[in-house]
């Protein structure tokens, strides 16, 4: 069975580009795309939610 | 499921004013998760702050809020709690607000053991006003007012709170985000004055002056210095050098102020009759 991928939503108007989510994602799912965050490798996401928990700006939401 | 922070936020207030990577936003999110876990009612929840970047927090929250005078959150909050003991009263603010100008209010709220929860965001600096040293700035650190290094030793907020009589004291960090809500939940549930110190970061006025190249370096510092209390039991003093303990540091059951005061009222009314 194909594994169900999470949805990662970045609210670009809230993201301040601090890099916290990118740096501490254990599987390097995220990257900076200009001043805001983008998803580089969704398949690698282990849904640990750390990016969402640590984002100071309410800018990233992971739905498992 | 993505957590719905919006239900506790005033509509239209985001993006907030805090700088990129400022830990205060991480703390606010932890507080919101705690309020949600406890299913508190907005009309029975009051968040009271002083002045500073950290003290801007209540402005974003959709419940009863008070943004008061610098260092005076504890005084206003005490008034709220005495008038409405059924309210959940939560104080928040920075290290400068709470331990410099507000140090006196802080220690006496601890001493009285009034049933409120105080979340103190310790970024070791006066962020809002441009980076003057606070009583929590470490020895040797640079601030706008200590350009050659701070000669003063910093306060240990948790020890100060325990010494002054707070009956619940915990510490977490902005890096350990998933622990913040759990500590706040325990603090709110505890009957008495509960202090939750969250070590966070001010990249703009502290990091810059103290050779942290980025927010990430400041987060890594929090990651490296934190040792959970349980883990610390198995470590020797040499291994604990430069570390800070995290988790619930102190808990005690003792008489709570509103109840003590109520008993005084009853005694006085009895005497008058
Ligand atoms: C009576 C009074 N004195 C001084 C100030 C200036 N002031 C505003 S915020 C602040 C310090 C805030 O530091 P802290 O509480 O650590 O909050 P942070 O900005 O670091 O989050 C000071 C000194 C003031 N607003 N009122
Ligand atoms: S949920 Fe975890 S693994 Fe997935 S992007 Fe966020 S930090 Fe990375
Ligand atoms: S942690 Fe939040 S604000 Fe920082 S880069 Fe990631 S999404 Fe943007
Ligand atoms: S000045 Fe410092 S404390 Fe204030 S918002 Fe910016 S990073 Fe946060
Ligand atoms: Mg401060």
CB B240 within 8 A of CB B226: no
Q: Where are the domains of chain B?
A: 8-272
What's the pLDDT at A1? 60
Confirm or reject: Cβ of B127 under 6 Å from ligand 4.
yes
Can you name the CATH fold of B8-272? Rossmann fold (3.40.50)
Pocket residue to mutate for ligand 1, from B22, B48, B73, B128, most atoms within 8 A of Cβ:
B128
Task: Determine the residue of chain A that is closest to B216 in CA distance.
Answer: A20
ipTM over 0.90: yes
Name B199's bridge partners. B122, B173
Question: Which two three-digit tokens encode residue B15?
Answer: 């993006």
Q: Cα B46 from chain centroid?
A: 15
Q: Cα B60 from chain centroid?
A: 17
Task: Compute, in angstroms, the gap from residue A29 CA to the centroid of ligand 4.
Answer: 28
What's the pLDDT at B273? 65
Confirm or reject: Cβ of B124 under 6 Å from ligand 4.
no
Per-residue pLDDT of chain A (64 residues; tens, 9 = 90+): 667 899 999 999 999 999 999 999 999 999 999 999 999 999 999 999 999 999 999 999 999 8
CA dist list (Å): B126 to B70, B154, B248: 12, 13, 26
Task: Compute, in angstroms, the gap from residue B31 CA to the centroid of ligand 1.
Answer: 22
What's the pLDDT at A20? 98
Distance from CA of A7 to the nearest CA of B (A): 9
Of all atoms in ligand 4, which is nearest to the CA of residue B23?
A: 8
Q: How many CA atoms lie within 13 A of B260 on its CB side?
A: 11
CA neighbor of A46 nearest in space, from A32, A27, A60: A27
The whole model's pTM is what? Answer: 0.97
Report chain A's terminal Cα–Cα distance, integer Å.
17
pLDDT tens digits, residue range B32-53?
999 999 999 999 999 999 999 9
CB–CB contact B15 A62 (8 Å): no
Of all atoms in ligand 4, which is nearest to the CA of residue B18?
A: 5
């Amino acid at each position: 069975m194909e594994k169900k991928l999470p949805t990662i939503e970045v609210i670009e108007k809230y993201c301040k580009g601090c890099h916290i989510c990118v740096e501490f994602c254990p599987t390097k799912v995220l990257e900076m795309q200009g001043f805001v965050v983008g998803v580089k490798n969704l398949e690698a996401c282990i849904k640990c939610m750390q990016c969402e928990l640590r984002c100071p700006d309410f800018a990233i939401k992971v739905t498992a | 499921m993505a957590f719905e922070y919006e239900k506790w936020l005033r509509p239209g207030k985001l993006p907030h004013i805090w700088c990129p990577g400022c830990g205060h936003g991480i703390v606010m999110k932890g507080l919101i998760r705690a309020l949600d876990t406890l299913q508190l009612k907005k009309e029975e929840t009051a968040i009271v702050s002083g002045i500073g970047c950290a003290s801007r927090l209540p402005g974003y929250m959709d419940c009863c809020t008070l943004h008061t005078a610098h260092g005076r959150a504890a005084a206003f909050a005490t008034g709220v709690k005495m008038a409405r003991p059924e309210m959940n009263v939560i104080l928040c603010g920075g290290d400068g607000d709470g331990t410099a100008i507000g140090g006196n209010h802080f220690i006496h709220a601890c001493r009285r053991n009034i049933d409120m929860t105080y979340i103190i965001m310790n970024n070791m600096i006066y962020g809002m006003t441009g980076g003057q040293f606070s009583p929590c700035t470490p020895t040797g650190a640079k601030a706008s007012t200590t350009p050659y290094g701070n000669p003063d030793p910093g306060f240990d907020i948790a020890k100060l709170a325990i010494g002054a009589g707070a009956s619940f004291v915990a510490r977490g960090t902005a890096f350990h985000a998933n622990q913040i809500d759990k500590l706040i939940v325990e603090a709110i549930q505890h009957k008495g004055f509960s202090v939750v110190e969250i070590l966070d970061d001010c990249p703009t006025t502290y990091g810059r002056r103290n050779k942290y190249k980025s927010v990430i370096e400041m987060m890594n510092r929090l990651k490296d210095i934190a040792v959970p209390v349980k883990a610390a039991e198995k470590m020797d003093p040499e291994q604990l050098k430069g570390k800070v303990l995290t988790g619930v540091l102190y808990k005690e059951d003792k008489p709570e102020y509103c109840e003590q005061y109520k008993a005084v009222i009853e005694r006085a009314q009895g005497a008058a009759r």
